[in-house]
Each structure stands twice: as structure tokens, then as C-alpha cells.
Amino acid sequence: MMRILSCLVAPPAFASKECNFDSGYVSGQNAGMIQKKKLSGWSRVAIAIDEVRDRLLRSTRILEQAGIPYAVLGGNAVAEWVGRVDKEAVRFTKDVDILLRREDLEAAKVAMEAGGFIYHETFKVPMFIDGPDGSARSAVNVLFANEIVREGDDSATPDIEPFDYSEDDFKVVSLESLVQMKLTSYRRRDQMHLIDMLDVGLIDGSWVGKYPSELGDRLQFLIDNPE
């Protein structure tokens, strides 16, 4: 029974060989008898969250130890900033997004591949697949600092510096840079992240003037139309 419980609470990387997460079942052997318990939806979500967190911490630790400048951005950066104010306002994200300088990519490839990640590009989007059994859906995505991400974007990505440190000791983009990136991308998910930051008081109307007029107008629109 303890093995079954350990399967339920441990991410796959740390679970016993008798844990079969892909099938949706957990099996454990006790006194020669096989016991099976189907994973609930909530248990599968918890495992998915643990996997993302594990991938985030492993990849940033590799870059830290190699001395390669980086910063976490995207949904995990939003979660870090929002969670400092209100943990109940944090949204789960499956994406691990890392900001690198283009000139550091080759060094990052060497370090990450030594740590078990595999460099890959999908539609010219650079990423590190999490091992030979990983996929693009569970990769560490790379964006380059000080570059336009999509044609038509109003501003380039920020530089890695200034950055902040999370309580887990990984570098995260500054709040001002994060807000600018969200205002630039401005997809539905970006708008929701911005509304979350507004709701917990990380940003407010005084931030509108920090950005170029088009980005400031987008922020003001969300302030005026939070629903």
C-alpha cells in the first residue's frame, strides 16, 4: 500500500518501476499480490504539475552550474511573481520558457545535452526535449534576448538583466520586462496573465506610462475591461 501511495504522490522520475503513469493506473506489489488503483483526474494533474516543476528546476540548475546567463519567462515567470502575493491566484502552465542570449546557445546545447536534454527545432523554434522519450509538448522552449519573436511585434524581447531570483534559486525576468512581453504577445493567455497581475496588485494604472503608447493602450484596455 505504501508503494501505491508513493506512486500517487511522487513524480514519475522518482516513482518505483511498478508505477505505470501512462496507462492511467498505479500498481504496487504487497505480499505477492498486485494491487491496482486508477489515477484520478486530480492525481494526474498533480503529476503533470510536478513534472513541469522538475523540468524547470533541472534545466535552470544546469544553466546555473554552467555559468550561462538565462532567465525564466512565460507562464512560470507569471506564476513566480503572482505566487509571491497570492498563491491561490497562480495558474498552472505546462510550458517551460527560457530566455537566452543567442551567442550563448552553443554553450547551452553542450550543458543541456550533458544533463540529458536534446536540442531540437520545430518550425525554427529552438527547444530542448526532455530526454529521448520527451516531446515538443514537454520541452524547454528557448527565446532569444533582444530579438523580435514574431513579425509585427511592437517590441523585442528584453535582455536577461535585470533579473530576480525565485525562492527556488532560479533566475526570473524582471516584472517590468515580463509585463512588456505579455503586452507585446497579447494572446488570450497573455491577457489572462496580465489580468492576474492586475488582480493581485502587482501592476496598476501607473504602469501604463512605462511602455510605448500601443502597449500602454493595451494595458489600459485590460484595466477598463477586466472581464
User: Is residue 93, in this structure, part of any structural domain at all?
Assistant: yes
What is the SS3 assignment for 27?
strand
In this prediction, what percent of the chain has a pLDDT beyond 90? Answer: 68
CATH label of the domain that carries residue 102? 3.30.460
Cell 504522490 locates to: 9
What mean pLDDT do residues 114-119 have?
97
The one-letter amino acid at 39: L
The overall average pLDDT reported for the chain is 86
Identify the residue with better confidence: 124 or 213.
213
In this prediction, what percent of the chain has a pLDDT beyond 70? Answer: 84
Least confident of 13-27, 117-131, 189-203: 13-27
Cell of 38: 486508477
Q: pLDDT tens digit string along 145-164? A: 999 988 888 789 999 999 99
Which pLDDT belongs to residue 37? 62
d(CA 132, CA 129): 8
- What is the extent of the structural domain holding 211? 40-224
- Overall domain count for the chain: 1
Long-range contacts made by residues 109-117, C-beta under 8 angstroms, separation at least 24?
110/66, 111/62, 111/63, 111/65, 111/66, 111/68, 112/59, 112/62, 112/63, 112/140, 114/62, 115/58, 115/59, 115/62, 116/58, 117/59, 117/62
User: Is residue 142, in this structure, part of any structural domain at all?
Assistant: yes
